Amino acid sequence: MKYLPIDQALFIANRKRFIEQLPPNSMAIFHSNDEMPYSGDANFPFRQNADLFYLSGIDQEQTILLLFPDCPNKAFREILFIRETNEHIAIWDGHKYTKEEAIAASGIHKVLWNDQFDAILPMAMALCEQLYININENDRALSQVPYKDLRFAAEMRKRFPAHNQCRLSPIMAKLRVTKHPLEIQQIQTACDITKDAFNRVLRFTKPSVGEYEIEAEITHEFLRQRSSGHAYSPIIASGGSSCILHYIDNNKACKDGEILLMDFGAGYANYAADLSRTIPVNGKYTKRQKDVYNAVLRIFKEMRSMMRPGASMEELRLETGKLVQSECLQLGLIDKADIQNASEENPAWRKYFMHGLGHSLGLDVHDLADRYQPLSENCVYTCEPGIYIQAEGLGVRIENDILITDGDPIDLMAEIPIEADEIEELMN
């Protein structure tokens, strides 16, 4: 791992909170993600399962975590299974955790090689009443791959048909949405690296530069600061592509007079940052571009101030729509007749603002959260309003990462340039 070690206190605290949510005499099992084949004998870069990392801090393939806090056999209450290394693996694949290193990283004192899991599982299953399985239930997920946890659930139904299988996702969503101070520290580091990448881009961008070259500048800055790279596929969208919400081709030359919408964020210690900015390719907004940019900026500032405990993201989305409607009227995009003739399900402003206000942020860029539940202290959410005018090839989005507190929200990206005049000044 490129990132600096994380205090095991984070993972000890996370397990304590998890155990408090687990019903009596229940066992939970977490697996690392698969090593996914790319082509030939190559794999995609490994990315640890977020829930396993959240509870253990172990960032290595072929890892299993077993938690059975009420087990009458104390030896089975908390076990970490890791890949047994040897001289051959060390030569070909590099260093892997020793048992001592895994203990130091996780705070789990019983660490076994993973080939011992099959011997221990039947004994643990005989003592538990129900088994909690970690299926991906993110409401944005649409996976056609029978991943490790899904295969494990099917295997358990065959091997232990009399046991109840229960969902871990509701427990993990409840826990992960509220961030430990050490988690906020990792997210802040990711935001700080993202800030430096954005400032680098401001100095680099000019007419004729390729979107892919801008992506390369961002990647360079990420890697030189111990980031694992992009937390998600970056959007570097010039001209009309700024109106494509998930544009990731990043293959065109940026033209004089165009706008450039960028959506990117560093990944650090498996935690994500998520930034959007819209800048003028030539360093100077046209009047129309600046008018639209400032309209979105006014919406951003107002909605950021409303991100407080008690409000849900769904309620805030509807409030955002009201502000978008007002700004679209001022920009001449809609008129009062358009508003009156539109339906409640498809308001007039929806043509120019198609997505929500934001999402939970953490170990996943779209982290586990219930958009209908009120925000609470120590949650981190994005605030990302936008206005997209396809007829003009002009899309503007502004996005920062916001820490919810019991008082005013804290903008974790407050040091990143956001005012149109400041962006122009830095570009020139």
Interval 293-341: pLDDT, tens: 999 999 999 999 999 999 999 999 999 999 999 999 999 999 999 999 9
Helix H or strand E encompassing 18: helix 9-21
What the block records as the tokens of 28 is 């939970």
Report d(CA 73, CA 205) in Å as an integer: 62
Report d(CA 387, CA 354) in Å as an integer: 9
Report d(CA 51, CA 377) in Å as an integer: 21
Give the pLDDT band (50/70/90) at residue 140: confident
Q: Please write the tens of the pLDDT for every residue from 233-288.
A: 999 999 999 999 999 999 999 999 999 999 999 999 999 999 999 999 999 999 99
Distance of CA 147 to the CA centre of its chain: 20
Report d(CA 132, CA 141) in Å as an integer: 20
In the block, residue with structure tokens 């390369």: 216
Mean pLDDT of 343-362: 95
Report d(CA 411, CA 299) in Å as an integer: 15
Mean pLDDT of 164-182: 95
**Measuring CA to CA, which residue among 246, 306, 253 is closest to residue 276?**
246
Mean pLDDT of 71-98: 91
* pLDDT given for residue 137 in this prediction: 85
The pTM of this model reads 0.95
What is the residue type of 362?
G
Collapsing DSSP states into helix, strand and coil, what is residue 393? coil
Q: What is the topology classification, in CATH, of domain 181-427?
A: Creatine Amidinohydrolase (3.90.230)
* pLDDT given for residue 138 in this prediction: 76
Mean pLDDT of 376-389: 98
Q: Please write the tens of the pLDDT for every residue from 35-70.
A: 998 888 889 999 999 999 999 999 999 999 999 999
Mean pLDDT of 155-181: 95
Domain boundaries, the chain: 9-176, 181-427
Residues 6+ away with beta carbon under 8 Å from 183? 10, 271, 362
Residue 205 has pLDDT above 80, yes or no: yes
The count of C-alpha atoms lying within 13 angstroms of the C-alpha of 279, restricted to the half-sphere facing its C-beta, is 30
Strands 380-383 and 64-67: unpaired
* pLDDT given for residue 322 in this prediction: 96
* CATH code of the domain occupying 9-176: 3.40.350.10
Q: Is 226 left (phi over 0), alpha (psi -120 to 50) or beta?
A: left
Mean pLDDT across the chain: 96
